[in-house]
């Protein structure tokens, strides 16, 4: 090994110096990136803490509790941190039945990326919704709102109506009427950003 620094060849010396400089620069860049990300997250948290709760774009989606067709109790706030497609539908609604395959396709493609579909069956019933889900192989979450209270809370005037809610719980897009295909749903999903 080297007995003193003068025995190190100049090329090795420059290589060591270069690696040291690269290490310092990389550390600074990573620190700045993490610091910026933390500042951005804190800023977004402060901004969303002051958002009014309501059923319009830019407002915090109202929380609710419902029972699903598979007998689970869920709350919207259980899904905070995920992207939510909140759909209101009924088995007797022709346009709703038209768009259901597109919702299922979206669920299959995007569930692993943190997108949750909550398709609230409203003014219908557990038996109808459950039978329909089984017949068409629906695997997304289907809560049931028999009296239509949650639809009323969201100001739903016609079925189907779909709300896109970002990971902070803010409504970013609303679609009234049926989706033609999965690609149309994905266009609305770009509002999550």
Tens place of pLDDT for every residue, the chain, 193 residues? 555 555 556 666 555 555 556 554 544 445 455 545 544 444 455 455 789 999 999 999 999 999 999 999 999 999 999 999 999 999 999 999 999 999 999 999 999 999 999 999 999 999 999 999 999 999 999 999 999 999 999 999 999 999 999 999 999 999 999 999 999 999 999 999 8
Residue 54 forms part of a structural domain? no
Residue 108 forms part of a structural domain? yes
Q: What is the model's pTM? A: 0.76
How many domains is the chain partitioned into structurally? 2
Residue 140 and residue 86 in one domain: yes
Which domain covers residue 168, as residue numbers? Answer: 65-192
**DSSP state at residue 128:** H
Inter-residue long-range contacts of 98-101, CB under 8 Å, 24+ positions, other chains counted:
98/178, 99/160, 99/178, 99/179, 99/180, 100/136, 100/138, 101/136
Residue 43 forms part of a structural domain? yes
CATH number of the domain that residue 184 is part of: 3.40.30.10
Strands 83-89 and 115-122, bridge-based pairing: parallel
Residue 162 forms part of a structural domain? yes
């Amino acid at each position: 090994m080297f007995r003193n620094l003068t025995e190190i060849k100049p090329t090795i010396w420059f290589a060591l110096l270069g690696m040291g400089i690269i290490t310092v620069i990389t550390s600074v860049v990573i620190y700045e990136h993490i610091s910026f990300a933390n500042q951005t997250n804190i800023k977004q948290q402060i901004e969303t803490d002051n958002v009014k709760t309501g059923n319009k774009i830019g407002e915090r989606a109202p929380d609710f509790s419902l029972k699903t067709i598979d007998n689970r109790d869920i709350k919207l706030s259980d899904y905070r941190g995920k992207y939510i497609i909140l759909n209101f539908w009924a088995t007797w609604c022709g346009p709703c039945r038209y768009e259901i395959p597109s919702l299922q396709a979206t669920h299959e493609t995007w569930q692993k990326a943190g997108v949750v579909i909550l398709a609230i069956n409203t003014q219908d019933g557990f038996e109808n919704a459950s039978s329909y889900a089984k017949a068409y192989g629906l695997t997304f979450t289907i809560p049931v709102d028999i009296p239509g209270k949650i639809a009323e809370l969201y100001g739903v005037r016609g079925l189907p109506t779909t709300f896109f809610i970002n990971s902070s719980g803010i409504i970013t897009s609303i679609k009234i009427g049926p989706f033609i295909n999965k690609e149309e749903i994905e266009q609305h999903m770009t509002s999550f950003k």
